[in-house]
């Protein structure tokens, strides 16, 4: 990590690796201009850096509705450690998985509901963009000239 700048951009490949090493994140959707965020467990299938699909399980509700109307989605995960924090986000469009071969792939990835609830549907997020950042934690500098933009 850059010692001068407290924020380091991750490459798309590093952000994908970070997302792939985790299974719990937050799904952000927007329906009729109203944002909503859900904790979800997920699995990533990356055939290549340009061919990435994230999967989540769902039941009837806003996640499936956002999928049906083609709303753009974002899936975020993070990790806070002693001296750094990392966040990675994937952006894409969702679709309901219906083909047996793809459902079998999801089952082989071990994606199951993580709460005691029936989640019969599988949502695939066809990833269009991935980003991530690592943040150096600690006290803010005394000099405002070293301020880092968001």
CATH topology of domain 7-138: Pnp Oxidase; Chain A (2.30.110)
pLDDT digits (tens, 9 = 90+) for 62-86: 787 888 777 889 999 999 999 999 9
Q: Quote the pLDDT of residue 138.
A: 85
Name the least confident of 11-20, 53-62, 89-98, 137-146: 137-146
Residue 130 has pLDDT above 60, yes or no: yes
Question: Would you say 123 and 64 are in contact if contact means Cβ atoms under 8 Å apart?
Answer: yes
CB environment 79-117: b (16+ within 10 A), e (fewer) = eeeeeeebbbbbbbebbebeeeebeebbeeeebeeeeee
Say how far apart CA 73 and CA 117 lie, in whole Å.
23
Q: Quote the pLDDT of residue 11.
A: 95
């Amino acid at each position: 990590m850059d010692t001068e700048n407290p924020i380091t951009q991750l490459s798309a490949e590093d952000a994908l690796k970070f997302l792939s090493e985790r299974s719990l994140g937050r799904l952000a959707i927007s329906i009729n201009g109203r944002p909503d965020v859900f904790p979800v467990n997920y699995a990533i299938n990356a055939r290549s850096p340009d061919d990435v699909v994230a999967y989540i399980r769902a039941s009837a509700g806003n996640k499936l509705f956002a999928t049906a109307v083609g709303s753009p989605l974002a899936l975020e995960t993070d990790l806070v450690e002693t001296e750094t924090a990392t966040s990675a986000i994937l952006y894409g469009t969702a679709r309901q998985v219906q083909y047996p071969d793809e459902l079998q792939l999801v089952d082989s990835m071990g994606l199951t509901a993580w709460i005691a609830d029936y989640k019969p549907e599988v949502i695939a997020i066809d990833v269009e963009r991935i980003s991530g950042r690592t943040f150096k934690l600690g006290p803010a500098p005394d000099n405002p000239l070293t301020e880092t933009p968001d």
